[in-house]
Structure 1
Amino acid sequence: MIKRNLLVMGLAVLLSACGFQLRGTGTNQLTITELDVSARNAYGDTVRELRQVLESSGVKLTANAPYKLILTNEKETQRSASYSGNGGTAEYELTNVLNYEVVGHNNLTLLSNKVEAHKVYLQDASNIAGSGQEAVMIRKEMRRDLIQQMVLRLEQLTPAQLEKLQQVADAKAKAEADAIEAARKAQEETPQQSPLELQNQ
């Protein structure tokens, strides 16, 4: 009985958090202390709420941070999942995909990935307004889910991992720059025939 009560209390605490509390004890589990957060939709709800969560978790958000989190794209889609007997749509599946990048020194991309949220809701043909409100609420829940997933991804990134990713990105950028320089030198050293020589041939 005690275990059951504790479980109910624990679920109540999780639900009351509405997705804005980090999992676990609620203490700051992020090892990233400074971060620059931006998005293609700079004034969107997702980036605004994510910034709030990070700040409340003790992360200093500043443009001078060594690493940047960029929300590159957020896409919402809706498709019919099932149909009612009269042929009208009765069930919808909603999908929300958030693409992001972590950028380090020299504006090099260290990693890029995405998080996804899926929900299914019923549409009552006799209560379109109510179904519409439910869809709006579900969209908000999905956004909170994406934000929580995003924070969990950040929790898994340690300074040591970011440094390794930076080294890999630096090495790749140098290799590409060296290849371009080598190609340029090779082109310069290749004898170029003049138009007159081409005409004589």
Structure 2
Amino acid sequence: MRTNLLILPLLILTLLLAACGFHLRGQGGFAFPFQTLFILSPNANAPFIIDLKRAVQLYNVKLVDSSENAQLTLHIVSETMSKQILSLSDAGRVREYQLNYRVSLRAYDIKLDEWVPADEIVLQRYLSYDNTQVLAKEMEETLLYQDMRKDAVQQILRRLSLAKAPPSPQ
């Protein structure tokens, strides 16, 4: 009897979450207005491009090897990472860094009509620094850059899912 009383609220909570459209981050159902995509970038083997290709393929978009065979070309103009010193201690040692991640992009079709105009994704994270934990802070920095890369991929997927062909002139 007691276990039934515990299961009922859990069941109701599960139904309410499902009814409101709740889903885990990264599990959103994107619907793209195109079936084939060509990704043009300066470095096709960059971790960002590999993550982006993998994410696009999860939504049944076929990646093709040239822009002539694609309904849409996603041009990743640049991807840059940088680090700036935010604060110093009294002894002149770094206390905090600001990590920056930028991706410039645009998307167009075979007629060079822009579906996503030239845009830039800018992400920032803050990293406190301690000279006594150099290896741990280097690993934390790497993880923060990976997180920003995943966030940029998700933002690109959102923009591509909202992309529309420009209206044809009449």
Specify the TM-score bucket, using the shorter chain as the normaliser.
0.7 to 0.9
Query: Contact 1:101 / 1:113 at 8 angstroms: preserved in 2?
Result: yes
Cα-to-partner distance string for 1:110-146 (whole Å, 9 max, x where unaligned): 1211111110011111111111111111110110011
TM-score calculated relative to the size of structure 2: 0.77
Q: CA deviation at 1:38?
A: 2.3
**Aligned residue pairs: how many?**
149
TM-score calculated relative to the size of structure 1: 0.66
3-state SS of paired residue (1:133): helix
* Partner residue, 1:156: 162
Matches within 5 A, 1:131-142: 131-142=137-148
Which has more radius of gyration?
A: 1
Q: CA deviation at 1:109?
A: 5.8
Alpha-carbon RMSD across the aligned residues, in angstroms, is 2.5
Q: 2:76 aligns with which of 71, 76, 79?
A: 71
Q: CA deviation at 1:61?
A: 1.3
1:128 lines up with 2:106 in the alignment: no
Cα-to-partner distance string for 1:32-71 (whole Å, 9 max, x where unaligned): 3221112111110111100100100111112311210011
Query: Contact 2:73 / 2:110 at 8 angstroms: preserved in 1?
Result: no
Which structure features the higher share of strand residues? 2
Unaligned runs of 5+ in 2: 1-8
Query: Contact 1:99 / 1:114 at 8 angstroms: preserved in 2?
Result: yes
Unaligned runs of 5+ in 1: 169-201
- Return structure 1 stretches of 4+ with deviation > 3 angstroms: none
Percent of matched pairs sharing the same residue: 20
Query: Contact 1:101 / 1:109 at 8 angstroms: preserved in 2?
Result: no
Which structure features the higher share of helix residues? 1
Query: Contact 1:93 / 1:121 at 8 angstroms: preserved in 2?
Result: yes
